[in-house]
Amino acid sequence: MSIRIIRTGKDPVLRQVAKPVATVNRAVEKLLDDLAETMYHAEGIGLAANQVGILKRVVVIDVGTGLIELVNPEIVEKSPEVDTDAEACLSLPGLRGDVPRPKQVTIKAQNRQGEEFTLEADGLLARCAQHELDHLDGVLFIDYLRPEQIIRESEGSRR
């Protein structure tokens, strides 16, 4: 396992769409391991492969209930109820903002063995999963906010 460099700021890879994984193989397993190690090292709760410069549809999440690995994840259902809560991002250090998202989502994905499964997520897990899956499509949490809604923590003020 290796700790990878997390791409930040205006790095163009963060705005690119990740490609589906054709076959879950040892390279994908190593990527999952590296993503998890990098996420834990950075004290994050989620990390998408393009955040470390790999344009593959691979995500890891741990909101305190154990590691969840998602290969080729896709949201197949969203609840109509929306919740607004604070988000931050390892790729946008020092920024946060209150982002509206569906309270619950259903995600179809593959595990590290290539087996399909369904994940029912609500609360923080749903929020984190949506945030990370957005990364796979080149979308950042700040895209949901007006400039004045983005809080720059280093300055302690809104911009």
- SS3 for 37-61 is HHHHHCCCCEEEHHHHCCCECEEEE
In a domain, 4, yes or no: no
Which residue among 29, 132, 153, 155 is the active-site one? 132
Mean pLDDT, residues 17-37 taken together: 98
In a domain, 6, yes or no: no
What pLDDT is attached to residue 153? 83
What is the CATH number for 99?
3.90.45.10
- Whether pTM > 0.85 for this model: the answer is yes
Residue 15 reports pLDDT greater than 90: yes
| Host domain of residue 52 | 12-158
Residue 146 CA, chain-centre distance (Å), reads: 21
Mean pLDDT, residues 40-56 taken together: 98
Amino acid at 15: R
Residue with tokens 């004045």: 148
In a domain, 120, yes or no: yes
DSSP 19: B
In a domain, 93, yes or no: yes
Q: Establish whether 132 is a catalytic residue.
A: yes
In a domain, 7, yes or no: no
Quick: pLDDT tens for 117-136.
999 999 999 999 999 999 99
In a domain, 2, yes or no: no
Best CA proximity match to 35, nearest among 56, 13, 16, 12: 56
In a domain, 39, yes or no: yes
The total of structural domains in the chain comes to 1
